[in-house]
Amino acid sequence: MTYFSELEGKKVIVVGGSKGIGKDIALAFAKLGSDVVITGRNKEDLRITTEELKEFNPNCFYLTADIQNVHEIYNMIDSANDRLGQIDVLINNAGINIPKPVLEVTEEDWDRVLDTNLKGTFFCSQRAGKYMTEQRTAGKIINIVSQMAFVGYIKRAAYCSSKGGAVQMTKALAIEWAEHQIKVNAVAPTFIETDFTKKMFDDQGFYQDVLSRIPLGTLAKPDDVTGAVLFLASDMANFITGETIRVDGGWTAI
């Protein structure tokens, strides 16, 4: 038996797919033979990553979109569907955090975090779900959330709120679209070791505090998250919907 062989030829959108976790996810699907479109705001980053994807599947491409803008979301999903022919899997990975003490959070900070992590995720799902229901593809939507949906942490009031909302949204979409056999799930990672987070962990006090909260005693890597995403996208997870897999090394089990 070849694991995940059913993902060959699947039409996959990875929102926020040019760097970090999103890039790792996109590469994994491309290596399995999926036709992958990655999206983001930085055209050059998207171009570079797409060249890497094409080494495994020449049918991969990119689209630019700012998911804080619903009009751009609709255009991006519409264009992806037109070029792919259908949408089998949507991975909502785009997200931001603006770490600040509660008393320093501005309205602009709050709106940027919520508009990206929650509003953007909803409208990407809404538009992709429209095509999945019309095409009867029994599609899958996978939201990358965070362990911060389940626990609080300093300087992350807006972020925790956005990710907690995304977990509840995942459940709501799963229930409403169950009749169409669309499965909606989420993956909630702990802190991930990427180029993006490296600066944060230069602060040894912060680094040691994070490690002290993870029973497995180490940070997660992008492929730890990718494994959970591939599972949810595969036939092995065909009877799972409305769930969130916590890839957190045991942080939230305490």
- Residue ranges making up the domain that contains 27: 5-253
Q: Does residue 131 have an active-site annotation? A: no
For residues 62 and 15, give the distance between their C-alpha atoms in angstroms, rounded to a whole number.
10
For residues 234 and 1, give the distance between their C-alpha atoms in angstroms, rounded to a whole number.
14
Cβ atoms of residues 38 and 26 within 8 Å: yes
What is the 3-state secondary structure of the chain?
Answer: CCCCHHHCCCEEEEECCCCHHHHHHHHHHHHCCCEEEEEECCHHHHHHHHHHHHCCCCCCEEEECCCCCHHHHHHHHHHHHHHHCCCCEEEECCCCCCCCCHHHCCHHHHHHHHHHHHHHHHHHHHHHHHHHHHHCCCCEEEEECCHHHCCCCCCCHHHHHHHHHHHHHHHHHHHHHHHHCCEEEEEEECCECCHHHHCHHHCHHHHHHHHHCCCCCCCECHHHHHHHHHHHHCHHHCCCCCCEEEECCCHHHC
Q: Give residue 197's pLDDT.
A: 80
Catalytic choice (3, 74, 153, 159): 159
Q: Give residue 3's pLDDT.
A: 80
Q: Give residue 139's pLDDT.
A: 97
Q: Give residue 200's pLDDT.
A: 86
Q: Give residue 165's pLDDT.
A: 98
pTM of the full structure? 0.96
Our count of domains for the chain comes to 1
- The CATH number given to whatever domain includes residue 47 is 3.40.50.720
Residues of the chain with pLDDT under 70: 1-2
For residues 21 and 187, give the distance between their C-alpha atoms in angstroms, rounded to a whole number.
12
Q: Give residue 70's pLDDT.
A: 98
